[in-house]
């Protein structure tokens, strides 16, 4: 009889002698921090849902830059949360869409066969994932699993930034940098849904894309520096942070709101230096400098589902990869300049 094994990354491996009778799943897993080449395909024991959990048969999982940072362990500050020497949870990914396979004894709102989307901290680049029921909502009718998987983290970030932090109102002017990226493509659409006049900053190749998302004005950053046009905005959602904070503030109304939202920065602390700078400066100006961290909330997933159903928000899909090509997908995300979201179809 085989001996049960556990990987260094916390996943439960299935011994060869037990594979015939075990409920298993395929998953991408990493045993150490590093480049995408550290990912391996493994056969793992299929998890069972706890009392308040749902076992989801994952059909699609999307990626965002944070997944790349966690994979590499850089900036090093991420290791404080995800494991100092090696990843505490070896399966990458957070966002998913799929079908309920089983529910825990305390789950009443969902049942097997329901189509759902949401997020899981246990990793989603696998055939199955256990997810707290509060992290899932029903997939809007007619929305594909690939599109649904693209929504949770990036769209929630855009929603919370514009609604909760900036309190965007009809008629306000909103500028979004990185407008063709994951968060940016959602932000352009959500700002328009809130009645704002939207200026999108992107490269020349993405001008038509962001216009199709509803942008009223487009700035090609390869030709024009938006901080030097003399135009000022009520809200700036800066997903790129290519210019110094002082330069971006020149484009902000005297009482406007600037939301830095980027993981760029040094190898050790990443964006923390810019966050500290913004908070220190905010005490000496009427401008609101508001770096923030988004948190997954079921109510926000429901709000996004309404926007999706109404046709006010449509996910932009850059590329779709197979699970076996997860390393290539993470390599593409880590390189930057994605158009919308990268999704793994499982």
- For residue 274, is pLDDT > 60? no
Which pLDDT score is estimated for 82? 73
How far is it between the farthest Cα atoms of the chain? 74
DSSP secondary structure string, 251-295? Answer: TEEEEEEEEE----SBTTTBTHHHHHHHHHHHTTSSSEE------
pLDDT band per the 50, 70, 90 thresholds, residue 291? confident
CATH 3.90.180.10 residue window(s) in the chain: 5-151+315-345
Bridge partners of 24, per DSSP, are 45
Which pLDDT score is estimated for 242? 87
Radius of gyration, alpha carbons of the chain: 21
Beta-carbon-side half-sphere exposure of residue 237 (alpha carbons within 13 Å): 32
**Closest C-alpha to 327, from 30, 95, 42:** 30
Which pLDDT score is estimated for 7? 52
> Distance between CA atoms of 216 and 320, rounded to whole angstroms?
29
Topology given in CATH for the domain delimited by 153-289: Rossmann fold (3.40.50)
CATH 3.40.50.720 residue window(s) in the chain: 153-289
Bridge partners of 100, per DSSP, are 56
CATH number of the domain at 5-151+315-345, out of 3.30.930.10, 3.90.320.10, 3.90.180.10, 3.40.640.10? 3.90.180.10
pLDDT in tens, 104-146: 999 999 999 999 999 998 899 999 999 999 999 999 999 999 9
DSSP secondary structure string, 127-175? Answer: SEEEEEGGGEEEPPTT--HHHHHTSHHHHHHHHIIIIIIS---TT-EEE
**Closest C-alpha to 45, from 62, 63, 29:** 29
pLDDT in tens, 9-64: 556 555 554 555 569 999 999 999 999 999 999 999 999 999 999 999 999 999 99
Q: Which of 8-22, 188-202, 253-267 has the lowest mean pLDDT?
A: 8-22
Phi, psi at 322, each rounded to 5°: -80, 160
Average pLDDT, the chain: 89
Residue 169 CB burial class (10 angstroms; 0-12, 13-18, ≥19):
exposed
Bridge partners of 177, per DSSP, are 201, 238
- For residue 273, is pLDDT > 80? no
Contact present, 129 and 323 (Cβ < 8 Å): no
Which pLDDT score is estimated for 263? 55
pTM of the model: 0.89
pLDDT in tens, 304-319: 999 999 999 999 999 9
Contact present, 342 and 318 (Cβ < 8 Å): yes
């Amino acid at each position: 009889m085989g001996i049960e094994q556990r990987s260094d990354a916390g996943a439960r491996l299935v011994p060869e002698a037990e594979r015939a009778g075990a409920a298993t799943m395929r998953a991408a897993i990493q045993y150490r921090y590093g480049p995408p080449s550290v990912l391996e395909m493994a056969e793992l024991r299929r998890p069972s849902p706890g009392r308040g959990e749902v076992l989801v048969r994952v059909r699609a999982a999307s990626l965002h830059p944070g997944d790349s940072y966690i994979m590499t362990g850089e900036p090093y500050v991420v290791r404080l949360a995800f494991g100092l020497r090696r990843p505490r949870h070896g399966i990458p990914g957070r966002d998913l869409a799929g079908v309920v396979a089983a529910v825990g004894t305390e789950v009443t709102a969902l049942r097997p066969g329901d189509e759902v989307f949401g997020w899981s901290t246990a990793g989603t680049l696998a055939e199955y994932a256990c997810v707290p029921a509060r992290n899932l909502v029903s997939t809007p009718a007619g929305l594909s699993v690939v599109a649904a998987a693209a929504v949770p983290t990036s769209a929630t970030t855009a929603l919370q930034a514009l609604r909760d932090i900036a309190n965007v109102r009809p008629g306000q002017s909103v500028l979004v940098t990185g407008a063709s990226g994951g968060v940016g493509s959602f932000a352009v659409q959500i700002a328009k849904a809130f009645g704002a006049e939207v200026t999108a900053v992107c490269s020349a190749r993405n001008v038509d894309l962001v216009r199709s998302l509803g942008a009223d004005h487009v700035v090609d950053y390869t030709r024009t520096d938006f901080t030097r046009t003399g135009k000022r905005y009520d809200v700036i959602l800066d997903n790129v942070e290519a210019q110094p904070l002082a330069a971006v503030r020149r484009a902000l109304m005297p009482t406007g709101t600037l939301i830095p939202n980027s993981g760029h920065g040094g190898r050790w602390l990443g964006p923390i230096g810019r966050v500290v700078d913004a908070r220190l400066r905010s005490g000496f100006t009427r401008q609101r400098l508001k770096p923030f961290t988004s948190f997954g909330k079921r109510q926000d997933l429901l709000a996004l589902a309404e926007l999706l159903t109404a046709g006010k928000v449509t996910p932009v899909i850059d590329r779709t990869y197979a699970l076996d090509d997860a390393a290539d997908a993470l390599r593409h995300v880590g390189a930057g300049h994605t158009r919308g979201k990268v999704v793994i179809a499982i």
